Amino acid sequence: MTTTRDPIAAAAPPPALDAAQLAEAFALFSRASEELSTAYNALQCQVAQLTERLTMLMSALPAGVVVLDRGCRVVQVNRAAEALFGVELVGRDWTEVGRALQGTGTPGELTLARGGETLRLALSETALESGDERILLLHDITDTYQMRLTAERNERLAAMGEMVAGLAHQLRTPLAAALLYTGNLRQAELGPAERASVADRAIERLRYLERLIRDMLLFARGDSLGRQHFGACELAAELTHTLEPLARARQIDFQCACDCGDVALHGDRKAIAGALTNLLENAIQATEAGGSVSLRVELDQAAAEGSAAGPPPGLRFVVRDSGRGVPAELQSRLFDPFFTTRADGTGLGLAIARGVARGHGGDITLRSAPGQGSIFTLALPLAAGCGVGADAVQGS
């Protein structure tokens, strides 16, 4: 009978370590453990130093720093942030805290009522690479905003000073014409038809004076009186309804397109409508019969893609005509007060339109060449969001 031997049982037992080898292994382990402990303690010291420096830096920062977790709960703030809100912030829901912030017409800028004053703040957000937390920076730009308003007012006053030189001529010429026409009405030999014609000319000159004075007051006022939310496409449709008959009377093809859906603007609706009306009327006046004028409202690339980088998202109102165009040497002067290329123009329409655009944080640009028509683009930024402050941050 053949007996099968167990290979495990037949294996030779491992050699036993002697006392010297055990002692050497223990010594190596002890040294490695000691080195790890020393390195750990050094790292702990470095972390403590960095934490202390970070705390000192946050305390010294004049801007408010708010750190939010994934749930929009405040996990860390500096003294400047608590001084802005006047309450303990750590542990609170930012959605509730941020309700004290109110939106303005300028993206990234909010207002905060504190006591009897209203602060103007600039809000910016940065997400950590881990994605677990976000850092909000709140800069108090109240003084900067007041300086900006003062500078804009001084610019308007300076422009008004420049206008005074031409003001006498601007008012005297139509006034003299109106006086001449009304004086002719006293002539007894005028027939009814001639008298009506002279009266119509006098009324025309007086209306021109009225329009000139109105435009001067609008230019001097500069800022908007009231702001509200309104649909961009709704405004475009209203402008089309107003301007299309004028274009049709001049045998000009008028087209309007709006690609921004239900996007709303926040601003002075009447002032923005007036600025666009001015651009469209100028385009129609500059276009010969058989030509075309179009208005297109579109979101810029940043707004369409929802990008957080680059300039703030906004809308563009693009007025394009196939008219005679503007020579390069006149384009830089086109927005100057009292400069006009039309015999019946006041020279204030484009200056007012640019003032309205800049008063809303935007601007007007021109691309034109003789014989190739003109493209006026009125760009306006969109508001930070309907949920001002808290909602804007939470939805980002």
The answer to whether domain 153-222 has CATH 1.10.1740 is: no
- CATH code of the region 226-396: 3.30.565.10
Within 10 angstroms of residue 358's Cβ, the number of other Cβ atoms is 14
Using the Cα atoms of residue 79, residue 84, residue 88 and residue 90 in order, give the sign of their dihedral: negative
Per-residue confidence (pLDDT) for residue 379, from 0 to 100? 92
What integer pLDDT is reported at residue 375 of this predicted model? 92
Kindly list the distances between the CA atom of residue 348 and the CA atoms of 13, 352, 355, 383, in Å, as whole numbers in the listed order: 106, 6, 10, 28
What CATH architecture is 61-140?
A: 2-Layer Sandwich (3.30)
Q: What is the pLDDT of residue 317?
A: 93
Structural domain boundaries of the chain?
Answer: 20-57, 61-140, 153-222, 226-396
Q: Which residue matches tokens 């309450």?
A: 87
User: Average pLDDT for consecutive 10-residue bins of the chain (396 residues)?
Assistant: 53 63 80 83 74 61 82 85 83 84 79 84 82 84 86 74 60 75 80 84 80 66 65 90 87 89 82 87 89 90 47 81 85 74 66 82 88 90 50 43
Domains 153-222 and 226-396 share a fold: no
pLDDT at 292: 92
Residue 117 pLDDT: 84
Supply the pLDDT for residue 7: 54
The number of CA neighbours under 13 Å toward the Cβ of 157 is 6
Question: Per the confidence metrics, is the pTM higher than 0.85?
Answer: no
Helix-strand-coil percent breakdown of the chain, rounded to 5?
Answer: 50, 20, 30
